[in-house]
């Protein structure tokens, strides 16, 4: 909730600046805390809803930290012991600590401290090329910060379709962001109270008022004494689970970031639902593989199903086609023509295999593709659907025509 609240506020402010609506200097240069007033309100409302749900379902909540005493017993830090026939581990994750980049919550931040800043800096270095790095880099850029993103790998968001990530990267660069690939931090020097210098592996030095470290997260497992319960880990340090989210100890389940990729809120919710259903004999199947990914950058990026590479690995002969937001009359009405809808289909059957969307409302638009894929729909179906006009959803029809044209022409992309 906190980062998404800041994102929506940044979008509103950026839209006002773009349209010349925001002219008051104090309104154009707010503090992070001023944005967080809304966050606190939303968090409080959501907490109240959860508390109400607990009471209605007679859920007992105990506060504290706990570790396994044995496979059926948890011992809290106050000495209290709780016995369970079934146990679900959902302790989440935390930012991975980097010894060479100590977080002080003032000049050097991670995702736990960033939103506690008193003032929005003029310049910021973001370290990382994953979801959290890209989201915050784009949010602070929208707030008027000069952002330099330093990514140790050769591209952003390596698990996402490369055409989509290239499109996103160009949109960020067009907005003024500096993006450097293949450089890794070697050391950090604080220069006075308002500047940090970062030595990089390519021999250069980058400087900014603030450094945001987003070099991955790790599951919070170290104090649970999992060995006492016989719970084993993967080579990645996450909890190993089966399709029903059972661990190596069959009555103990795990869900969310503790089981690793994709580490999405939507995936964690579904994993928890499947685990609870299986515990009490209501499971109809394991976790559905068709889970959308939503990356709340500016512009948004979302995907569902297979990209071309994954489709080939699955034995399909994939064909892709795209439609750009600039070709759709609704996009300029909404104030941003940066966007792309890309569809992947099977050449032989025309069956829709996957969709990737970059642009405003991408995380909402993707659900339509999810439904079509789930029910075995084809790109021909998409060309026959009638969409509201003007609407961004109509981009599906344009992209479907592009796929059909390539199928008819015998090309793949």
Reported for 219-226, long-range contacts at CB under 8 A and 24+ positions apart, including other chains, are 219/91, 219/92, 219/93, 219/257, 219/258, 219/260, 220/91, 220/92, 220/93, 220/94, 220/258, 221/91, 221/258, 223/65, 223/67, 224/66, 224/67, 224/68, 224/89, 224/91, 225/67, 225/68, 225/69, 226/68
Structure tokens at 279: 């515990």
Q: Given this model, what pLDDT does residue 23 score?
A: 46
| 97-215 and 299-409 share one fold | no
Q: Given this model, what pLDDT does residue 36 score?
A: 67
Residue 164 to residue 168: CA distance in whole angstroms: 6
Q: What is the pLDDT of residues 378-404, one digit of tens each?
A: 999 999 999 999 999 999 999 999 999
Q: Given this model, what pLDDT does residue 413 score?
A: 60
256: left (phi over 0), alpha (psi -120 to 50) or beta: left
Cα–Cα distances in Å, from 306 out to 28, 300, 342, 397?
41, 19, 11, 19
Was domain 299-409 assigned CATH 3.30.390.30? yes
Distance of CA 170 to the CA centre of its chain: 19
Q: Given this model, what pLDDT does residue 240 score?
A: 98
Q: Where are the domains of the chain?
A: 1-59, 97-215, 299-409
Spans of the chain below 50 pLDDT: 23, 25-26
Q: Given this model, what pLDDT does residue 25 score?
A: 40
Cα–Cα distances in Å, from 4 out to 105, 142, 305, 357?
20, 13, 24, 19
Q: How many CB atoms lie within 10 A of CB 401?
A: 15
Q: Which CATH class is domain 97-215?
A: alpha beta
């Amino acid at each position: 909730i906190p980062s998404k609240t800041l994102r929506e506020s940044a979008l509103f402010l950026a839209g006002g600046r773009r349209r010349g609506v925001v002219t008051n200097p104090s309104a154009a240069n707010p503090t992070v805390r001023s944005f967080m007033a809304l966050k606190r309100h939303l968090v409080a409302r959501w907490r109240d809803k959860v508390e109400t749900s607990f009471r209605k379902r007679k859920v007992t909540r105990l506060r504290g930290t706990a570790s396994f005493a044995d496979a059926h017993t948890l011992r809290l830090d106050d000495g209290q012991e709780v016995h369970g026939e079934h146990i679900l581990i959902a302790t989440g994750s935390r930012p991975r600590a980097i010894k060479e980049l100590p977080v002080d919550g003032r000049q050097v931040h991670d995702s736990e401290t960033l939103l506690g800043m008193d003032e929005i800096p003029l310049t910021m270095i973001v370290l990382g090329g994953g979801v959290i790095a890209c989201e915050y880099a784009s949010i602070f850029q929208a707030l008027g910060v000069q952002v330099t993103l330093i990514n140790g790998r050769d591209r952003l968001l390596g698990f996402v379709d490369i055409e989509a990530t290239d499109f996103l990267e160009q949109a960020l660069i067009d907005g003024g962001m500096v993006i450097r690939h293949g450089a890794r931090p070697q050391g950090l020097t604080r220069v006075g109270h308002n500047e940090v210098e970062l030595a990089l592996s390519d021999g250069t030095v980058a400087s900014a008022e603030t450094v945001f470290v987003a070099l991955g997260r790790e599951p919070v497992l170290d104090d649970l004494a999992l060995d006492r319960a016989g719970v084993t880990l993967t080579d990645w340090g996450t909890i190993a689970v089966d399709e029903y989210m059972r661990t190596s100890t069959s009555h103990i389940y795990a869900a969310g970031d503790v089981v690793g990729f994709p580490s999405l809120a939507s995936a964690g919710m579904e994993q928890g639902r499947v685990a609870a259903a299986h515990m009490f004999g209501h499971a109809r199947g394991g976790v559905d593989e068709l889970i959308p990914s939503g990356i709340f950058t500016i512009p948004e990026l979302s995907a569902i199903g297979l990209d071309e590479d994954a489709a080939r690995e699955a034995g399909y002969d994939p064909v892709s086609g795209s439609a750009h937001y600039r070709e759709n009359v609704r996009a300029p009405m909404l104030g941003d023509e940066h966007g792309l809808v890309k569809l992947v289909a099977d050449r032989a059957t025309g069956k829709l295999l996957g969709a990737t969307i970059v642009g405003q409302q991408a995380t909402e638009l993707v659900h339509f593709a999810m439904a079509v894929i789930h029910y075995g729909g084809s790109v021909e179906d998409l060309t026959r659907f009638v969409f509201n006009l003007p609407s961004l959803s109509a981009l599906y029809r344009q992209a479907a025509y592009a796929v059909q044209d390539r199928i008819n022409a015998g090309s793949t992309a």
